[in-house]
Amino acid sequence: EPEVTQTPSHQVTQMGQEVILRCVPISNHLYFYWYRQILGQKVEFLVSFYNNEISEKSEIFDDQFSVERPDGSNFTLKIRSTKLEDSAMYFCASSAGGFMNTEAFFGQGTRLTVV
């Protein structure tokens, strides 16, 4: 069964460092998303991406964040200068698109720990 894959599963980084989280969405999907979940809190939308550009983003997704689809398969989230409060589980998701295919399938997540 097709699945969304994320690497790495766990990333530890020093405050102020840049991190790149990587995702391979399901191959025939057109919409890509990043979410985060701080420990014990709700899943929060960060950004959606379609047709090689951001289509929606939340207030969390400030100038420190960027997304890219560098080739036909990968979808990345970059955090330029990490802060302690960026520590969270980051989930990538993808959906097929179209009016009746909006359900998103999640990867297993990358646990980001900023120290």
Partner 1 sequence: QKEVEQNSGPLSVPEGAIASLNCTYSDRGSQSFFWYRQYSGKSPELIMFIYSNGDKEDGRFTAQLNKASQYVSLLIRDSQPSDSATYLCAVNTGGWYAGGFKTIFGAGTRLFVKA
Binding map of partner 1 across residues 69-108, x = CB under 8 A, - = no contact:
--------------------x-x---x-xxxx-xxxxxxx
Instruction: Supply 21's token pair.
Output: 């989280």
**14 versus 98: smaller Cβ distance to partner 1:** 98
Return the amino acid letter for 83: K
Indicate whether 65 belongs to the interface with partner 1 (CB under 8 A). Answer: no
CB 54 within 8 A of CB 34: no
The rounded distance, in Å, linking the Cα atoms of 103 and 81 is: 32
Stretch that binds partner 1, among 12-20, 21-29, 43-51, 73-81 (CB under 8 A): 43-51
Stretch that binds partner 1, among 12-20, 52-60, 68-76, 78-86 (CB under 8 A): 52-60
Provide φ and ψ at 12, rounded to 5°.
Answer: -110, 130
CB 113 within 8 A of CB 14: no
Q: Site residues (CB under 8 A) for partner 1?
A: 31, 33, 35, 41-45, 48-51, 55-56, 58, 89, 91, 95, 97-100, 102-109
